[in-house]
Amino acid sequence: MGTALIILAAGQGTRMNSDLPKVLHPLGGEPLLVHALAAGAALSPERVIVVTGHGGDDVARVARDWDPELRVVQQAEQLGTGHAVLQAAADLADFSGDAVVLYGDTPFVSPETLENLAAARASHDIVVLGFEARDPARYGRLLVEGDQLTRIVEYKDATNAERAITLCNSGVVAAKASVLMELVAALGNENAAGEYYLTDIVDLARARGLSATVVRCDEAETLGINTRAELANAEAAFQTRTRAMALADGVTLVAPDTVQFAQDTVIGRDAVIEPYVVFGPGVTIESGARIRSFSHLEGCHVSRGAVIGPFARLRPGAELSEDVHVGNFVEIKNAQVAEGAKINHLTYVGDASIGARTNIGAGTITCNYDGVSKHRTTIGSGVFVGSNTMFIAPVSVGDNAMTATGTIVTQDVPAGALAVGRAEQVNKPGLAVRLMDKLRAAKARAGKGQ
Ligand code: UD1
Ligand code: CA
């Protein structure tokens, strides 16, 4: 039978005060929508339908990046959450299993909770995920009698007595797909917002003799993001949880509160992360590597025994093998650095490969961009690159070669060769002293003249 997932992601998110669609705002380096899709993956859905509206093309692109097979339907006008679910009707016409509705702005629903939700379907037609809210604010309130959910009332429509209820609606709903579609097709919009509320299906279902119930979860899982402040709180909650997981996994975080993780950061046991390190998306750090303070990493791989930073920047495609050393003010992008190579100070390595045990001197730059195209620099193993070498790519350097300090490398350097490409030095005896005397005399004359 299987499960279909419907993700609502059409809302403009007016209260975010942003040009970016709400569900594309990042949390832990990934759009909120990706968190919702990842949460839903716990149900191993047979079909995924994302309902888009505001910024639909951009939202669809992010959704298809996550899963090229998922279906995207456009909700042309945002007439409410119930109307949004109805947009999935055509895609579910032939579907005999259950449908679960998730919101694109609710990123933290856990796999266990979704399993509990699915299990409760065995005894009830409609299952709604609810939570006890410390501050129920504008959430919809759940009205229950025993194990029956009798009604959901939106904050805007609630009486004062109903607003005092602290059991709130998360928005997550499970039902047989065909039943859900019949119910959302029958919704009206006579309410304070003039919207087709998904929440009203409970009333309709009970009028038809169907049963509804609530599955409860922790409030932290149902955090819905409507404002920048809520997004910042969610980010803080995400970071706190991720740091705790890293510590439990055997990673040393010297000052956990200062380390920023992404959703997909992977760090091996006994790696050491010093204070003030930022991980963007796509980072893997092997066991025993050390990331020193104030380093910024994204889309890169750091192998066992490597030491990075302080003040290093690893950008997408940086692949560092075992025991590589990368020091302060070094930037590495789209480059493979073989085992034991050292790039210790003030260097840019982009679109390059660097062989084993090669030493890159301070101030070296791979000049990879000619203003139109990017070009590669290939450096062999055991090479000694003198300080302030410029590699004008495309260029390659053979094994065990050297470059003299200050060399501008415009031609390939054969293995074992020393490349020297700099202006020859000329010493003028006594000229420094004579020049200084002349300059001081000129300054003194100018001072008297004033
Ligand atoms: C909704 C619930 C409320 C619940 C809260 C939990 C309704 C009527 N209310 O309120 O009971 O406590 O979520 O966070 O369901 N969306 C669409 N199309 C629309 C309208 C909304 O796709 O026409 C999407 C939004 O992009 C968002 C989600 O549905 O991802 C929820 O919409 P939102 O407007 O944030 O609902 P709330 O007012 O928060
Ligand atoms: Ca919301």
Task: Write down all domains in the chain, each with its CATH number in brackets.
Answer: 3-222 (3.90.550.10), 228-419 (2.160.10.10)
- Catalytic residue positions? 345
Output b/e per residue, 105-140; b: 16+ Cβ within 10 A: bbbbbeeebbeebbebbeebbbbbbbbebeebeebb
Blockwise average pLDDT, block size 10, the chain, 450 residues? 94 90 96 96 97 95 96 96 98 98 96 96 98 94 97 97 97 98 97 96 97 97 93 96 98 98 97 98 97 98 98 98 98 98 98 98 97 98 98 98 98 98 96 98 88
Q: Across 306-356, where does the E strand assignment appear?
A: 307-308, 312-314, 318-320, 325-337, 342-354
Tokens of 86: 């109805």
Determine the straight-line distance between the first and last CA of the chain, rounded to whole angstroms. Answer: 96
Residue type, 207: A
Query: What is the model's pLDDT at position 11?
Result: 85
CA proximity to 395, closest of 421, 368, 356, 357:
368
401 C-alpha to ligand 2 centroid (Å): 61
Angle, CA of 208, 211 and 216, to the nearest 5°: 145
Residue 166, classed as helix, strand or coil, is: coil
Query: What is the model's pLDDT at position 1?
Result: 77
Whether residue 136 has its Cβ less than 6 Å from ligand 1: no
Query: What is the model's pLDDT at position 448?
Result: 85
166 C-alpha to ligand 2 centroid (Å): 17
Distance separating alpha carbons of residues 60 and 246, to the nearest angstrom: 32
Whether residue 3 has its Cβ less than 6 Å from ligand 1: no
Ligand with smallest separation from the Cα of 170: 1
Whether residue 170 has its Cβ less than 6 Å from ligand 1: yes
Model pTM score: 0.89
Sign of CA dihedral 202, 207, 212, 214: positive
300 C-alpha to ligand 1 centroid (Å): 37
Whether residue 199 has its Cβ less than 6 Å from ligand 1: yes
